[in-house]
A and B are shown apart, each in its own frame.
Chain A
Amino acid sequence: MGFVVTDLFKKYGEKVVVDHLSFEMREPGVYALLGTNGAGKTTSIRMILNMLAKDGGTVQWNGEPLTLQNCNVGYLAEERGLYPKNTLMDQLLYFSALRGVPRAEAKKRITYWAERLEATEYLFPKQEGKKKVKPMRADQLSKGNQQKIQFMLSLLSDPELLILDEPLSGLDPVNTDLFKSIIHEEIDKGKYLIMSSHQMATIEEFCTDLTILNRSKTVLQGNLAEIKKSYGRIHLFIKAEQDLRELIEQAGITILTDIGFSYQCRVTGEAQANALLKTLVEKGITLIAFDLREPSLHEIFVEKVGDAHEE
């Protein structure tokens, strides 16, 4: 049961844009689709939602082919907008009606989300004096506030499956935190979320499983914690008050970056790192930081996609 994508395939002419993508979500959670620009993420999402014809593969929701009739989907597209000249309330009610939400219920939900997304002043402008207040149109809002309305559109139907394509792009830090808190709430409600983003820290914060796409192909897939574990603790960060380059290189460790006595290094394993630490202590060198850790998602992504680019 759950959400299963099998062998999704798409090509334009002779060019393959999605090459047999498969993944599954057996239980609610967050799944990340990562990739470079043009890797096929958005095309895959469009095929999942039946917006684009599949040249192969299936998408199943609870054992049946996913359709808009059997799955309540909320979608925040990467390329998003609003009717510029129409009032915000009209647009929200329209989308609610299209999703079969009764008008009275829709108004309740709009009120709730307006408060939650701190958009009440745009949707329910207060009357000042005797002057009649006109409802606000989309083109009167800033980009960030428009994004709040777009996010509301995707949430109004209380979707079972929520697909968020670059949900935090273009937001200021305050609104980023606001959006994150709502995403956390949706996860806690037991929703299925598919998220695509270039912000690796965001993905790490939310996702348990992921697929990394590069040039239409799946280059890495699985549980994020297990992937990290499989890499082992091979990333070493050292910060000192003096130059350690020679000592590090003598220990056979590769220095990735070297900025002002701060070193990002790659070790073969914990033993190599421990040997270096022992040497540094013996020489009485004062260390500010000595951090042996698993690779970050960013590092894994760059490694996987970088490798593929070099091929």
Chain B
Amino acid sequence: MKNNQTSNVGTVFRYTVQQHYKTMSVKIFLIVLFVLSIAAIPLLRSLAGSDSEVSSSDITKLRLCNQTEYAISADDIRADERYADLEVIDGPAEKDALRQYLHDNDTAAAAVISMDESGMGFKIEGYYGEDSKISENDAETLTHVLEDALHQALLRTLEVTQEQIDTVNTKVFSTVASVPDYLSGDKAVMDTSTHMIVNLYYSYAVMIVIALAMSYIFQLCMEEKVSKLVEALLVSVKPAALLTGKILAVTFFIFGGIALIAVGLIISYHIAKSTGDVSFIKDFFANTFGMNPDAIHLGLKSWLMIAACLLLAYFIGAFFSGIVGSCCSKTEDTQQASIAVVVFLMIGYFTASFTPAMESDGVNYFVSLFPLTGMFTALPNYLCGKIPLAVLLGSLAIQIVAVILLAKLAGAVYRMMLLYSGGFPKPAQLIRMLRENRGTAKPAAGKED
């Protein structure tokens, strides 16, 4: 039997994946991850609790006690389609009468609108009966609608016309564009803060996938050294094929995990949708990430682009981790290896964080095309309209070349270091060893027997 080096990448990949998923702790972890993903949105809704609004209401009557001097129109309340059929009754704030009314009407709610203690603002207190059929969220939603109705009442008192109210309430969208983009007329450019936020979150995503892969790769690079299997393996598979198979397997673990979470979240969304309102998700994103999801139009094409760019960025980080991991001979070495990868990531991350503030096209072009920073910034720069598609494609082409070169270098370093059993080499030492090996037919090194 002769070796088939190309197919051995597949053999190493299959074996590594198979052994990974055979581990009980990994199985438990994936099951927990999947269950948590499925539970995420309903759980979020229950945690969001009273803050979430209902999509339809069970309230049929509202006993309203308006203690302000501003007349609230029932039509303003019924303007909200959830309360289109609401019967609004005026009533006193007297507690016993209010309790009796709510006891007699199990689909009724009550509200008292008054000035607050400081006299500088208003307060709206909503009530529902002990045995009421209406939910707390429903009553909460009604108070939000009453807030809007009060604002309308205030504006009317000032004799502001509906036209003026509409004018005041008109939404404002801002964009920033360079003169050439403005003249071309077809370019919508996001503002600096949005650019920074998009850059930041994409950088987080890149850092997370690389950081997740890093320790796996270190462990797999050392596996044969630690178990003294190196020499037996090297007569069966080329080091580069061994490393590539392992890195592809780690890619499968990481992106398989992400896919599992995505599938779990999709299921979670449908479960949440079938059992209640999901409009709170939008608020959650707005509050957590500081951006309006409606402002970002992510279609299938954009998601595919994000996935491709993330994968490419991941491979740069993974093969760099492969180079560093190849230098580890024992567990203690991984500490130094981790520092090297973190420094590598931080350079890209800080570039992605700070360059949007410079608001310079030249800087955006440079950081997009330089592979170390481009893996963090090229896609956000394109999505935010800071670079054209051609520059993004150029950046991706450069990143592909970088991945190929890093893969070759990782293969050479892995081959050279497999039989090396000294301490973690310094960069200068590693370069010297590579130079020494470059002059020979096949790069390799090791200690004499």
Contact = CB atoms under 8 A, between A and B. Distances in A.
B229 A98 contact: no
B419 interface: yes
Nearest to B440: A53
A98 B449 contact: no
Classify chain B's interface size: 35 or more
Interface in A238-256: none
Interface stretch (A76-84, A221-229, A273-281): A76-84
Interface residues of A, number: 47
B112 interface: no
A154 to B, nearest CB: 7
Interface string A22-55: 0000000000000001101111001001111111
A192 interface: no
Contact of B227 (A84, A97, A157): A84
Interface stretch (B231-239, B259-267, B337-345, B388-396): B231-239
A236 interface: no
B446 A46 contact: yes
Contact of B231 (A38, A72, A79): A79
A86 interface: yes
B153 to A, nearest CB: 72
A40 B448 contact: yes
Interface residues of B: mostly helix, strand, loop or mixed?
loop
A94 B15 contact: yes
B2 interface: yes
Interface in A52-97: 52-55, 68-70, 72-84, 86, 90, 94-95, 97
Contacts of A84: 227
A53 B444 contact: yes
B234 A51 contact: yes
A17 B437 contact: no
A38 B231 CA distance: 18
A73 B233 CA distance: 11
Interface stretch (B3-11, B76-84, B103-111): B3-11
Interface in B133-185: none
Interface in B399-449: 418-419, 437, 440-449
Given A46-B231, A98-B3, A154-B232, A51 B419 contact: yes
Interface string B213-245: 000000000010001111111111110000000
A153 interface: yes
A198 interface: no
Given A17-B448, A43-B448, A52-B419, A100 B1 contact: yes
B283 to A, nearest CB: 47
Interface string B87-101: 000000000000000
A147 to B, nearest CB: 12
A249 B369 CA distance: 89
A68 B232 contact: no
Given A38-B448, A79-B228, A68 B3 contact: yes
Contacts of B233: 95, 98
B449 A42 contact: yes
B235 A49 contact: yes
B331 interface: no
Nearest to A74: B235
B442 A97 contact: no
Contacts of A80: 228-229, 231-232
Contact of B440 (A12, A55, A79): A55
Contacts of A97: 11, 15
A257 B3 CA distance: 53
Contacts of B231: 46, 51, 75, 77, 79-80
| Chain A interface helix/strand/loop/mixed | loop
B19 interface: yes
Interface string A173-207: 00000000000000000000000000000000000
A171 interface: no
A100 B446 contact: no
A233 interface: no
A272 to B, nearest CB: 41
B228 A81 contact: yes
Nearest to A75: B235
Contacts of A40: 448-449
B11 to A, nearest CB: 5
Given A46-B231, A77-B231, A90-B18, A99 B437 contact: no
A96 B437 CA distance: 31
Contacts of B228: 77, 79-81
Contacts of B442: 50, 53-54
A101 interface: yes
A70 B236 contact: no
A52 B11 contact: no
A158 interface: yes
A150 interface: yes
A193 to B, nearest CB: 15
Contacts of A154: 232
A15 B447 CA distance: 12
Contacts of A53: 437, 440-445
B1 A158 contact: yes
Nearest to A161: B235
A84 B225 CA distance: 12
Contacts of A46: 231, 419, 446
Interface of A: 12, 15, 17, 37-38, 40-43, 46, 49-55, 68-70, 72-84, 86, 90, 94-95, 97-101, 150, 153-154, 157-158
Given A42-B449, A80-B231, 15 more contacts: A38-B448, A40-B449, A51-B419, A52-B444, A52-B445, A54-B440, A68-B236, A70-B2, A72-B1, A77-B228, A80-B232, A83-B19, A84-B227, A95-B236, A153-B232
Kindly list the 3 A-B residue pairs having the minimum CB-CB distance in the complex, ordered from nearest.
A81-B228, A42-B449, A53-B440
30 contacts: A12-B447, A12-B448, A17-B448, A38-B449, A40-B448, A42-B449, A43-B446, A46-B231, A49-B235, A51-B231, A51-B444, A52-B444, A68-B3, A73-B235, A74-B235, A75-B231, A79-B230, A79-B231, A80-B228, A81-B228, A82-B227, A97-B15, A98-B11, A98-B12, A98-B236, A100-B1, A101-B1, A150-B232, A153-B232, A158-B1
